[in-house]
Amino acid sequence: MQESLLEVKNLKTSFSTESGVVTAVDGVTFTVHAGETLGVVGESGCGKSVTAESILQLLNERTTKYEGEINYKGKNILTLNKKQMQQIRGNEIAMIFQDAMTSLNPVFTIGDQITEAITAHMKMGRKEANKKAIDMLSLTGISSPEMRFHEYPYEISGGMRQRAMIAMALVCRPNLLIADEPTTALDVTIQAQILEVINNIKNELNMGIVMITHDLGVIAEVCTHVVVMYLGQVIEDADVESLFSNPAHPYTKGLLQCIPQIDGDRSRQLYTIEGIVPSLDNVPKGCRFSQRCPHSDAKCLNEPPLLEEINDKHKVRCWHYDKI
């Protein structure tokens, strides 16, 4: 067995708010290996982005509390101090965000922002850093990188901004990339280009990737392993083939049936999951999905299920997965 690159163990992230403590991520566990892409999928409010931000500890430190372990190369990075964490951010673990326009600084050129990442982590002269930045830009498939280097974020298109952000994240050759909905704001043809870029660079650098998305199509396309989240918990954890061919949790099954298929029957009604996601300050007592689940019974309403192993590649958090 390959040694794991990132191991998140029982992560619990809670925020103190005016109305009390809200636990956005409640006991999340997963592992990422080098060269592997782990997909984290779920709907808005399921805690997928908070999980990502917790890994790099990007959340407001005054109001956020992290519990559990985040082991990066065997070391728990939650115990590191600010300075040590700064060494890891960007250098070892990098992140790309959904909205490139708000993630890039509008008053600096693309080039400035990429070289800043280089000089922050490496001892390198200006000229050398510039060259490295331009090389990275061309690796992401930007046309005429020398020209783009001197341009400001507003001067280039959305797809190019996303490429520039990827270049910025990857210029220090990180071992782990966290991609938080990297293609959600883009058109499908540009999305296809960006996913290809990420995949090529992954193979080149042998990175591990945590791909956060709500799009099951993207998951099927790029991921090797998937965790499905619902209301702060992992409800299913499987390799990509089993998840799509053999979904075990009623929520995962529902999600897969909800999407209009490009080759499905158009005249039939779409499957729906009744109701809406409950709010985090009013989490159901038993199984968190029990109120919306078509199979729930008294046990589901009262006792929270645990993440159980179906086989060595597939885990599910449901009392009745073997019966439904």
Strand partners, 212: 40, 180
Minimum distance from CB of 259 to other proteins (Å)?
A: 6
Least distance between other proteins and beta carbon 16 (Å): 23
Helices 158-170, 110-121: crossing angle, 10 deg rounding: 10
Nearer to other proteins, 66 or 244 (CB): 244
Residue 81: Cβ within 10 Å count:
7
Binding residues (CB under 8 A) for other proteins: these are 43-44, 143, 157-160, 187-193, 195-196, 214-221, 240-241, 244-245, 254-256, 258-262, 264, 266, 269-273, 276-277
**Distance, CA of 64 to CA of 320 (rounded, Å):** 35
H/E run at residue 93: strand 93-96
CB of 18 to other proteins, least distance (A): 17
Nearer to other proteins, 115 or 213 (CB): 213
CB closer to other proteins, 190 vs 301:
190
Which CB sits closer to other proteins, 122 or 283? Answer: 283
DSSP annotation of 55 reads H
- Judge residue 27's burial from the number of C-beta atoms within 10 Å of its C-beta, 0-12 exposed, 13-18 middle, 19 or more buried: middle
Please name the helix (run of DSSP H) or strand (run of DSSP E) that holds residue 40, with its range, or none: strand 37-41
Q: Which is nearer to other proteins, 27 or 278 (CB)?
A: 278
Q: Are residues 42 and 48 in contact, defined by beta-carbon separation less than 8 angstroms?
A: yes
Shortest distance, CB of residue 277 to other proteins, whole angstroms? 8
